Structure 1
């Protein structure tokens, strides 16, 4: 029988460019809590599980449902539930079902420590697109060095095993930290053996959105040096080949020029957005500058998307150092810096961050050497 329907991978979907050009809010991150059962050294958002003040600020089920209705009206199709730890919400099932019934395609970020048989039965009945789990270590010592929560490793492995046995699509990832540096290769091996999805590791550690100085110092201590980042990217064959095969996207010619002083050249606010646990609209999950957020409890998503975002994307840099060093940098796509990260690092969205520069130049040198060796 002739087939009239062909399978198309989402990444090959030909309308992506048109969607971005026309600024359709196709997907959004929904942080349903900032609270977490773990206390990870590197986390930029987590608050204690029993933080009553944070819990009282959380969007209610009714508020979440209303925001989702507005999002669907604007054309949104995907929603990623995240936190904190989303499964801490006592009304998690109700939130998930409310979004599912609106036709949204749902995904979930979780540490897996709270996953039970009840969750598995629920997810099998109402399948997510995928569930993504962070693997901070494959030994109890390393995992709990990161989470700072005794017993968390056993809970993590139990929850992860339940997910593996369920047949639900699982994606695995990790953060490259000082605390798990010596176990990264084993973490990568474990993740690739247990999931068909591309394993990713991230060396970019965000500073705290609440600017807690003690926690920020702890995060800085977890950061790898530029040489260490290059070394782990080079040692990981999949990551190394991806960088080499896409070299043209990462290193531009020396005559690369940006003909304006607009601050935002990224995709923030073009086809996605983030809603924080306390109801603030953000262009991306990392952008916390007070001038860029919008309180959805006092306004509408349509107002935020169609009127607030254009104002933000029209912000121009007034920092001569940034314009000289960063704006026309040919290795900008190897750099960790952006307005969101610069603000968390310095309090200014158009600041030069030396650590990010070091990482970018080390990556560029390593990539150029790898290309030469390859011939």
Structure 2
């Protein structure tokens, strides 16, 4: 009788070579329901699904227990998001229980549902950081983008309340065709209402909706040309704010520079080419552990198996095809925003070729190739 070495499962050797995975950064997606109906939302499901979603959402007790398990596993930074997390009637109960686990905790909200009860809870357990998305600079723009003009005033009032907390306040926006004319006005609104020190971070690109969300993003997102122009215009506006009277358009030089050549070409074993599933994770509204909120095709059952088991088993679920040859040979790959999540969102395939992203990147590459330094007001 001879002894045989057990066969190594496919991929196990590669997994053994990976750096240690520690779930440092977590996201709890309390719901994919929202009181707004933003045309470009990546995650909101149709209202017709609300009854099913409510029945299948994790309960407050389950979220709090998940937080305990995540803390024991090493999570330090935790984002509470949605959908709109404040839409849940048990939000305050969840927040208090999760907060008490000791995370550096961030809250993402549209600020339209900031009630006295919510403020009482947040004063007792203040977030480290609050991120608020501004969708326009007027009620009319909110009507176009979010479906309800009245939510503009509620947003401003809600942010003023949140600003009384000892939390870092950050502003974000997503620009589509319906609020394109408000892009600069949103910056002005934030600085006028909340302080000159605030800057608004704009989403670089809007992909198609993911994980069963209902938005028809293709009908409302910017054309690639407008998307790139807007990004550069906002960048130049930021330069103007920093340099003041010293600004001289003739001295502008557009270059793409690697911050560190060593870092740029240092091989690193990951699951997706980023921190998803390595240091970052998401617990979805129904208790699935994902590597990224954008990519639901790979998941484990944290609700049923517990956090530790779900985290440890997650790499075994990840089965990626090779990157397509077009992307591999593309000279613009170092400035491209494409990843497995955006490929899947845009094409339905992990190795797909996302036409929208390719057009955006080719326009950006052409500007770099020309070394453009004459970004006049009319062009941008």
TM tier, smaller: 0.7 to 0.9
Which deviates further from its counterpart, 123-132 or 330-339? 330-339
Q: 1:260 to 1:99 in 2, by over 3 A?
A: closer
Contact 1:262 1:315 in 2 (8 A): no
Contact 2:254 2:371 in 1 (8 A): no
Task: Say which SS state the counterpart of residue 204 (structure 1) adopts.
Answer: coil
Distance apart, 1:21 and its partner CA: 4.7
Distance apart, 1:261 and its partner CA: 12
Larger radius of gyration: 2
1:316 is matched with 321
CA deviation string 1:270-315 (max 9, x = no partner): 21101110111110110122xx111222313222322322552x63
Contact 1:33 1:83 in 2 (8 A): yes
In structure 2, C-alpha distance between the alignment counterparts of 1:167 and 1:360, rounded to whole Å = 40
In structure 1, C-alpha distance between the alignment counterparts of 2:304 and 2:320, rounded to whole Å = 23
2:363 is matched with 362
Which consecutive unaligned segments of at least 5 residues does structure 1 have? 1-19
TM-score, scaled to structure 1: 0.81
Q: 1:258 to 1:350 in 2, by over 3 A?
A: farther
Q: 1:239 to 1:84 in 2, by over 3 A?
A: farther
The answer on 1:247 being equivalent to 2:247 is: no
2:146 is matched with 147
Matches within 5 A, 1:41-52: 41-47=39-45, 51-52=50-51
Match among 287, 293, 313 for residue 307 of structure 1: 313
Distance apart, 1:87 and its partner CA: 0.5
In structure 2, C-alpha distance between the alignment counterparts of 1:219 and 1:362, rounded to whole Å = 21
1:298 is matched with 304
2:94 is matched with 95
The answer on 1:276 being equivalent to 2:289 is: no
In structure 1, C-alpha distance between the alignment counterparts of 2:22 and 2:171, rounded to whole Å = 29
Match among 34, 37, 56 for residue 32 of structure 2: 34
Task: Say which SS state the counterpart of residue 95 (structure 1) adopts.
Answer: helix
Aligned-CA RMSD value: 3.2
2:273 is matched with 265
In structure 1, C-alpha distance between the alignment counterparts of 2:237 and 2:327, rounded to whole Å = 25
Q: 1:261 to 1:170 in 2, by over 3 A?
A: closer
Q: 1:299 to 1:239 in 2, by over 3 A?
A: farther
Task: Say which SS state the counterpart of residue 309 (structure 1) adopts.
Answer: helix
Contact 1:273 1:284 in 2 (8 A): yes
1:63 is matched with 62
2:129 is matched with 130
Q: 1:367 to 1:143 in 2, by over 3 A?
A: farther
Q: 1:249 to 1:329 in 2, by over 3 A?
A: farther
Contact 2:204 2:231 in 1 (8 A): no
In structure 1, C-alpha distance between the alignment counterparts of 2:157 and 2:87, rounded to whole Å = 17
Q: 1:22 to 1:308 in 2, by over 3 A?
A: same
Contact 1:263 1:316 in 2 (8 A): no
Task: Say which SS state the counterpart of residue 128 (structure 1) adopts.
Answer: coil
2:328 is matched with 327
1:74 is matched with 73
CA deviation string 1:233-287 (max 9, x = no partner): 1111368769x898224999xxx99999998222221211011101111101101
Distance apart, 1:152 and its partner CA: 1.4
Contact 1:124 1:168 in 2 (8 A): no
Which consecutive unaligned segments of at least 5 residues does structure 2 have? 1-17, 243-252, 376-380
Task: Say which SS state the counterpart of residue 177 (structure 2) adopts.
Answer: coil
2:225 is matched with 227
In structure 1, C-alpha distance between the alignment counterparts of 2:316 and 2:328, rounded to whole Å = 20
The answer on 1:106 being equivalent to 2:111 is: no
In structure 1, C-alpha distance between the alignment counterparts of 2:354 and 2:271, rounded to whole Å = 15
In structure 1, C-alpha distance between the alignment counterparts of 2:152 and 2:373, rounded to whole Å = 43
In structure 2, C-alpha distance between the alignment counterparts of 1:72 and 1:52, rounded to whole Å = 31
Contact 2:142 2:149 in 1 (8 A): no
